[in-house]
Amino acid sequence: MLQPIEPVMDPATPPGHPRDLGGPWHSEAACRSDEAGLFFAPSKEPTAARLAREEAAKRVCARCPVMLECREHALLQPEPYGVWGGMTAAERRVVLARRRRREVELQRPAAGIAVAG
């Protein structure tokens, strides 16, 4: 089971955004009653056991009513370990790298467009 998580409150987040909840979203987490320790790796976990554990954790996440809030929290913090929002730490690193690339591309002036002056 995950430890209680305080919701991320970003002053730039407009009201009504999923992170801008009236109460802590983690109170609805499907993993709150998980006793199997699916979400974080024990030390020296063999690869096959890790893969099986992560897939089991993802199945819990798939029926979690706050999966999107949890995932975004884990991406924004970012949370370096464990399964959050149906994603492993490695999967979150890929998403974050894509987001960073997209941000860089959006800031780059479009090639081949003449600037009027």
Q: How far is the CB of 107 from ligand SF4 (least distance, A)?
A: 31
Report whether 70 belongs to an annotated binding site.
yes
Taking residues 87 to 116 in sequence order and writing x for each that binds ligand SF4 by CB under 6 A, - otherwise, the string is: ------------------------------
| 84 lies in the binding site for ligand SF4 (CB under 6 A) | yes
From 6-14, 56-64, 92-100, 107-115, span contacting ligand SF4 (CB under 6 A): 56-64
Q: Which of 30, 41, 56, 75 binds ligand SF4 (CB under 6 A)?
A: 30
Task: Indicate the angle between helix axes 47-62 and 67-76, nearest 10 degrees.
Answer: 130
User: What is the rounded CA–CA span in Å between residue 38 and residue 82?
Assistant: 9
Q: Please give the sequence-ordered ranges of beta strands (E in DSSP) within 19-109, or none if there are none.
A: none
As given in the structure block, the two tokens for residue 29 are 């987490």
CB contact at 8 A, 26 and 71: no
CB contact at 8 A, 89 and 81: yes
Binding site for [4Fe-4S] cluster: residue ranges? 31, 61, 64, 70
Binding site: residue ranges? 31, 61, 64, 70
